[in-house]
Amino acid sequence: PRRDISHNKKFVVVAQKVFGATLYIFRSRSSCAAQRVLVRQPRRRLVQDSAARRRRETAQSRKSYRAIPAFTMAGEQQQFFLKWNDFQSNMVSSFKHLRDEKSFTDVTLACDGQTCKAHKMVLSACSPYFKSLLEENPSKHPIIILKDVAYSHLQAILEFMYAGEVNVSQDQLPAFLKTADRLKVKGLAEAPGAIKREG
């Protein structure tokens, strides 16, 4: 809405609302030349900006990821760093689910007359021994026979690889750690030496 608020004979002053601000138009009566002055309302704008920021922060906290502005060179488009807040816990639970359901398994481990299926990617990531073995035998679904390895120890080692933790009874611990060291399982391979030093 526009309204004339001028009482001057030489100028016409028209006030108009534009996007929450007041636009004053000073128009000369003789030449009809116009000069526009935009007068903003800082206090109201600050309140609106603060409320909008709180809404954005609340919405962001409900997401499973964070978007953080990254520094860019002049003239380049702004880049955003996206971080998955629950990445580690989600990956661990996904790996456990894949193992429990035996989904997408591509390698079979055999010992003590029994077998169990696993994933090449997990074995390679958790053990340089398995990584080297699988690289030397690039078949689609190899069968790896492990001699002198107890099936219970193999099951526990796989549990450790997929979940990052495992429970082992005290009487089985030395033999279990020896097997883990032989298979070069990351996180367990140096444990026997550490236990000896502590003893």
- At residue 168 the predicted structure's pLDDT band, cuts being 50, 70 and 90, is very high
Token pair for 64: 């499973």
Q: What is the pLDDT of residue 36?
A: 46
Q: What is the mean pLDDT of the chain?
A: 77
Helix H segments across the chain? Answer: 42-62, 87-101, 120-126, 128-136, 151-163, 173-182, 191-198
Domains of the chain, start order: 103-183 (3.30.710.10)
Share of the chain above pLDDT 70, in %: 58
Report the DSSP pairing between strands 107-111 and 79-84. Answer: unpaired
What's the CA gap between 143 and 159, in Å, rounded?
19
Residues 6+ apart with CB under 8 A from 51: none
State the pTM of this model: 0.59
Beta-carbon-side half-sphere exposure of residue 62 (alpha carbons within 13 Å): 5
Q: Which residue has the higher pLDDT, 7 or 165?
A: 165
What is the length of the chain? Answer: 199
pLDDT at 196: 43
Q: What is the pLDDT of residue 193?
A: 46
Residue 2 has pLDDT above 60, yes or no: no
Q: What is the pLDDT of residue 81?
A: 85
Half-sphere exposure of 15 (CA within 13 A, CB side): 9
State how far the alpha carbon of 111 is from the alpha carbons of 96, 117, 155, in Å.
22, 12, 10
- Most confident range (mean pLDDT) of 48-52, 62-66, 78-82, 111-115 is 111-115
Find out whether 23 and 36 touch, Cβ atoms under 8 Å. Answer: yes
The predicted structure's pLDDT at residue 79:
83
What share of the chain has pLDDT > 90, as a percent? Answer: 42
